[in-house]
Structure 1
């Protein structure tokens, strides 16, 4: 069944504002994490030593506390009946299946979320390896780590460039998942 809602390509600025609104939500979660870190510090006078878990353990804990909750936020919003995160909802956008403009499958939303968060996780990998090296007094970092650090900083710009210049405003996460973001006139149709 094809959607009866007209589908329009969103402008780049609208997509960017939606992204910034979603980052405000994410920053809210990061504030909660910061406060939950400061409370034990105010009692003990010491911060938890993430590196005591090893580089992989610290990265995994960071994934559990930050990346996974953000991924759940993105997934729940885009897999919902509104097909949108808070930022997209505010601006009248929604995620659709690129082939038929219907609601995407949950698997497509999972893939979209993983690809969207991949640069973030690569950056965390780099940071934890740099911190671990520095904690061991090693300030000359291996070439692979420096190349990965540069890539981690460039990939988000590539994602944004795709959305800015690709015909349907589809980022790599949309292209891989088979989705796209559209302007929804559902608001006008519903009310």
Structure 2
């Protein structure tokens, strides 16, 4: 499978170089479609499944559920993932506007990067300072990450 992706990347390299060199907007949209969107879909579909989690969550015997303990469903899973990846996408946006000529003021790009970093720090520390150990995106999406009760969850 690795060989397939290697040869695919060689075939697509001219197109990708063209897209990523067109300016920050085209580079951002290309990066979003090739990187962020597939990751959001992976997390959303895996967490909306009956097993309630990604391969890593299943390995750790945890899953994402609604407040009532039921599976979160696709809509809520997408909403949760979008909130979770906002700092990541903000960083991508700012980086493309740093790397490619941009009409955006440097102060705005700096503010976006600063905000993305503050959000990432909040995402890391928020579960450590509340009794439920929930992250910000779990509070907003109405979800929780729980340990499976004596269940063997197959990968």
TM-score tier, shorter chain, comes to 0.7 to 0.9
- Give the equivalent residue in structure 2 for 1:63: 32
Question: Are 2:119 and 1:155 equivalent residues in the alignment?
Answer: yes
User: For residues 50 and 33 of structure 1, what CA distance do their matches in structure 2 show?
Assistant: 19
Name 2:22's counterpart in structure 1: 53
Tell me the equivalent position of 2:142: 178
Secondary structure at the counterpart of residue 52 of structure 2: coil
Quote the residue 2:78 is aligned against. Answer: 110
Aligned in 2, Cα 1:170/1:125: closer, same or farther, shift over 3 Å? same
| TM-score normalized with structure 2 length | 0.83
Gaps of 5+ in 1: 1-28
Q: Normalized against structure 1, the TM-score is what?
A: 0.68
Larger RCO (alpha carbons 8 Å, 6+ apart)? 1
When Rg is computed on C-alpha atoms for both structures, the one with the higher figure is: 1
Aligned to 1:88: 57
2:48 aligns to what? 79
CA displacement at 1:94 relative to structure 2 = 0.6
Number of equivalent positions: 151
Is the contact made by 1:111 and 1:176 (CA closer than 8 Å) also made in structure 2?
no
Deviation of 1:155 (Å): 1.6
**Distance change in 2, residues 1:81/1:123 (3 Å):** same
Extract unaligned runs of 5+ from structure 2: none
